[in-house]
Homo-oligomer: A and B are copies of this chain.
Amino acid sequence: MELEATTIDIGTTRPLVLLNTADADELGVHPLDRVRIWWNGETTTGIVKRTDELVDAGTVGVTEPLHYVSGPVEVKHAGTPRSVRYVRKKLDDLELEAHELECIVEDIHENRLSDVELSAYVSAIYTNGLSLEETKHLTEAMSGVGQQLTWDAPVVADKHSIGGVAGNCVTPVMVAIVTEAGLTMPKTSSRAVTSPAGTADVMEVLCDVEFSIEEIQSIVAETNGCLVWGGGVDLSPVDDEIIRAENPLSIDPDGQLMASVLSKKRSAGSTHVVIDVPYGEGAKVESIVAARELSDDFKRVGDHLGMDVTCAITHGADPIGHGIGPALEARDVLEVLEGSGPESLRLKSLRLSELLLEHCGVDASATEILDSGRALERFRRIVDAQGGDPTIQSTDVEPGDESVTIRADRGGIASRVDSRQISDLARRAGAPLDRGAGVVIHQSAGDAVDPGDRLFTIRAETTSKLEEAAELADELEPIRVRSKADALIERR
């Protein structure tokens, strides 16, 4: 069918083609069908959207990614992308071959799948799982798209946490210790997606985190490491698309998780990686058995890619550190580097650093590097190289001015500190965009609590957000206190 192309802005990254209902009927195409477009000797494919209002018959509207199409065009009904057949195959619980997974990754990368198809992929992977072979192939396919970093060092150290634990900002401390021990650790981190603070958000309180690849290389040449935002270097563009479908459903299938993490590590040029696998009530992995299985699989997929992967199974039921939110976590990090700070953050950072050093074959004492102040000095050099204050100390970090402290209305034992609820509170208070917003936790699970003792403090930058968070705190029970005499947890 001959039509006239016109550009239309509807705020989408998908190559949508808007057809008047009459033209769509004539072509025999339905919503989400594909059409092939020819113009000026060129050709491309788009996803159909039918409309009576936005385009008249005889005209075809092309959205943002297709704005280069113009003038008279020829439009024909096209088949669905091949990868949709493979998504369907996975829905049927059949094993996918390497080339089929590559095809899916390529079509996601090229934005060729509609939301319905992308969601079916994620749902199929979630319900039917990925075999170890499939996970290996998917990881390879995913690391084949996007930027690749390369380093001269024979050993490039890295770490990753599968998440789900509030606080848990061990990465800056680890990078300081490990680079001070002589290893190269060019750490790329994420910003918060659904949490109150990613490592990149925490570091941004102290220095810049967005750099070009060349800038990162010069920072690493100078300090052995960096703590930058990974999104700035586009290491795993496919991952972002997949997360877009996973988030609304709150699912994070194991095979996809491994492929996303390890493909990113491979693209980052890492050779030795420690994966932190927190487990426990409310964490992503709920049992030690599941944590062990996941860890073993992580190692196997790493092997396949030629990366040395080791896993640390850690306590995931409780938050790590006192502060939750960018500035509050930055303060915890600096305190630990200064030799004080929350014990949970200090110990976890030390254990993971020791593991990573040993894994890389380096004979150095993480505790000695931390306690001697050398880690602090190294951290300040990195902050300096990233445009921050080279004399930074914990007391320079300023949390939000507005605050309210919630106290215990009865005595007993703090039986549970709920990472999810603490995170929700911190976000409601404004984190991560309001850097100073968040929650300070005053009790750990197992602590004895007297009536009137402080449980937690909400920090915010504006009164209205503080009020909103305080309102939410009334509905939740982020720190549960139960009577010492009571063995009963809950009666239903």
Q: Are B116 and A10 in contact (CB under 8 A)?
A: no
- Among B11, B123, B244, contact of A10 (Cβ-Cβ < 8 Å): B11
Q: Does A348 contact B (CB under 8 A)?
A: no
A124 contacts the other chain (CB 8 A): yes
Asked whether A218 is an interface residue with its Cβ less than 8 Å from the other chain, the reply is no
Within 8 A of B (CB), among A5-58: 9-11, 18, 25-26, 28, 30-33, 49-51, 53-54
Q: Is A251 an interface residue (CB 8 A)?
A: yes
Chain B: which residue is nearest A34 at the CB level?
B248
A116 and B115 in contact (CB under 8 A), knowing A88-B249, A249-B88?
yes
| Interface residue? A131 (CB, 8 A) | no
- Residues in B whose Cβ lies below 8 Å from that of A92: 127
The smallest C-beta distance from A48 to any residue of chain B, in angstroms, reads 10
A114 within 8 A of B: yes
Chain B residues with Cβ below 8 Å from A50 are 11
Is residue A118 contacting chain B, with contact meaning CB distance below 8 A? yes
Q: A9-B54, A28-B433, A91-B249 are in contact. List 14 more A-B contacts (CB 8 A).
A: A10-B11, A10-B54, A11-B51, A25-B433, A26-B433, A30-B247, A32-B244, A53-B64, A91-B123, A92-B127, A115-B119, A116-B118, A116-B244, A119-B119
Residue of B nearest to A432 (CB): B28
Q: A460 at the A/B interface (Cβ < 8 Å)?
A: no
Question: Closest residue to A126 on the B side, CB-wise?
Answer: B91
Report the Cα distance A95→B270, complex, angstroms: 44
The reply on A117 being an interface residue by CB < 8 A is: yes
- Interface residues in A54-94 by Cβ distance below 8 A to B read 54, 64, 80, 84, 87-88, 91-93
Task: Establish whether residues B127 and A91, one from each chain, have CB atoms under 8 Å apart when the complex forms.
Answer: yes
Q: Is the C-beta of A193 less than 8 angstroms from some C-beta in chain B? A: yes
Would you call B128 and A87 a contact (CB within 8 A)?
Answer: no
A93 contacts across to B, CB distance below 8 A: 127
> Once bound together, how far apart are the Cα atoms of A251 and B193, in whole Å?
32
Q: Which residues of B contact A427 (CB under 8 A)?
A: 28
Name the one of B9, B49, B87 contacting A53, with C-beta atoms under 8 angstroms: B9
A120 on the interface (CB 8 Å rule)?
Answer: yes
Q: Let me know if A212 is at the binding interface, CB within 8 A.
A: no
The 8 listed contacts between A and B (C-beta, < 8 Å) are A28-B430, A33-B248, A91-B127, A114-B248, A119-B120, A120-B120, A120-B123, A123-B127
- Chain A residues with CB under 8 Å of chain B are 9-11, 18, 25-26, 28, 30-33, 49-51, 53-54, 64, 80, 84, 87-88, 91-93, 114-120, 122-124, 126-128, 193-194, 244-245, 247-251, 427, 430, 433
A-B residue pairs, 3 tightest by C-beta? A11-B51, A115-B115, A119-B119
User: Which one, B11, B18, B245, contacts A54 given CB within 8 A?
Assistant: B11
Q: Are A250's CB and B11's CB within 8 A?
A: no
Contact, CB under 8 Å: A30 / B193 = yes
CB <8 Å contact, A87 and B249: yes
A200 to chain B, nearest CB (A): 14
Chain B residues lying within 8 Å of A251, measured Cβ to Cβ, are 88, 91
Closest CB-CB distance, A100 to chain B, in whole Å? 16
Cα distance, A117 to B118, chains bound together (Å): 11
Judging by beta carbons under 8 Å apart, are A248 and B54 in contact? no
A32 touches B116 (CB 8 A): no
Chain B nearest CB, measured from A127 CB (Å): 5
- Residue of B with least CB distance to A32: B248
User: Within 8 Å CB of A28, what residues of B?
Assistant: 427, 430, 433
B433 and A120 within 8 A (CB) = no
With both chains docked as a complex, state the minimum distance between the C-beta of A228 and any C-beta of chain B, in angstroms.
Answer: 20
Q: How far is the CB of A32 from chain B (nearest CB, A)?
A: 5
Once bound together, how far apart are the Cα atoms of A32 and B194, in whole Å?
A: 13
The contact of A249 among B11, B31, B116, B122, by CB within 8 Å, is: B116
In the complex, residue of chain B having the shortest beta-carbon distance to the beta carbon of A192: B28
Cα–Cα, bound, A128→B91 (Å): 9
Closest to A249 in B: B120
Nearest CB on B from A26, distance (A): 6
| A80 neighbours in B (Cβ, 8 Å) | 248
Interface centre among A18, A92, A245 (most CB of B within 10 A): A245
Give the nearest-CB partner of A193 in chain B.
B30
B248 touches A116 (CB 8 A): yes
- Could you say which residues of chain B place their CB within 8 Å of the CB of A122? 120
| A194 neighbours in B (Cβ, 8 Å) | 30
Q: Quick one: closest B residue to A118, CB to CB?
A: B116
Give the residue name and chain of the B residue nearest to A430 (CB).
B28
Task: Report yes or no: A249 in contact with B127, Cβ–Cβ below 8 A.
Answer: no
